[in-house]
Structure 1
């Protein structure tokens, strides 16, 4: 029986390039493009509001398919904080999301996200994506006090 070959993954020279492709796949509702961004490691993790914890490719794919079946997503980055080194990047974002449902009703909300990217020999890949509803609709973190003690 012939074996089905996997389509080659895109190459990303930086975590920022990968992040841009992630939000493009989200907006397009393209499950195949979304899954090509993830590490091949089965330890990948995705945590989204109101959905179960997903670990591994099958669970992560099912989670994104569930979301894409809800409607059309459009995400806009409002604020970002990044920590990048040679092999790891952690990006914490505040994103504004607009969801257009099949009946054309729209819902808008903000999310705080944390994305962990790992550098393989060939390319950057997503390892962890965690999102939570932002209670403060306009800032990445609360204003820090000027005096700690």
Structure 2
């Protein structure tokens, strides 16, 4: 099953498929699967909570390799809001992250935006921007429209 999801990231897939493969790669600390989700473009960008802007596949790979040196990342995407066009998809979501502290397992929240672009190889991630969240991020602010125009 893991091979099938990796294959979907390599061959094409939808933005949802790529996003699922990305979070699965985080859960498994699988750098190859994770990088297969990204576009192979020099201008891809990643920002981790409180961190600098990381540009390009080599720098992004190095950042995730350093992260995986400490183990996997148990980030669970929740409350995904999607904006999709023919060649671009933007997913804004809350990541519920399981962290181990001296007091035991805790949950942290991260606000993230994942941007996907349709490439000749299929959909690929071109940006991942994550910011520190709070427990209050478990609820959205604002009102969803009741009528679509």
Could you state the TM-score of these two structures normalised by the residue count of structure 2?
A: 0.81
Q: CA RMSD for the aligned pairs?
A: 2.4
Q: For the structure 1 residues 58 and 122, does the alpha-carbon distance in structure 2 shift closer, same or farther, using more than 3 Å as the test?
A: closer
Task: Report what 1:34 is aligned to.
Answer: 34
More helix by share: 2
SS of residue matched to 1:137? helix
- Structure 2: how far apart are the matches of 1:56 and 1:77? 24
Aligned residues of 1:11 and 1:124 also touching (Cα < 8 A): no
The residue aligned with 2:3 is: none
Other-structure match for 1:133: 132
Residues 77-112 of structure 1, C-alpha deviations (whole Å, 9 max, x = no match) = 2211001111000000111011358x9x54420111
Distance 1:49 1:60 in 2: 14
In 1, Cα distance between equivalents of 2:87 and 2:126 = 12
Q: Map 1:1-149 onto structure 2 (within 5 A).
A: 10-100=10-100, 106-135=105-134, 136-139=136-139, 141-144=140-143
Separation in structure 2 between the aligned mates of residue 85 and residue 137 of structure 1, nearest angstrom: 27
* Secondary structure at the counterpart of residue 70 of structure 1: coil
**Contact 2:42–2:57, Cα closer than 8 Å, also in 1:** yes
Q: Distance in 1 between matches of 2:116 and 2:138?
A: 25
Distance 2:36 2:126 in 1: 12
Determine helix, strand or coil for the equivalent of 1:58: helix
Structure 2 unaligned runs (5+)? 1-6
Larger radius of gyration: 1
Q: Is the 8 A contact 1:92 1:114 kept in 2?
A: yes
Aligned partners of 1:143 and 1:134: how far apart in 2?
A: 17
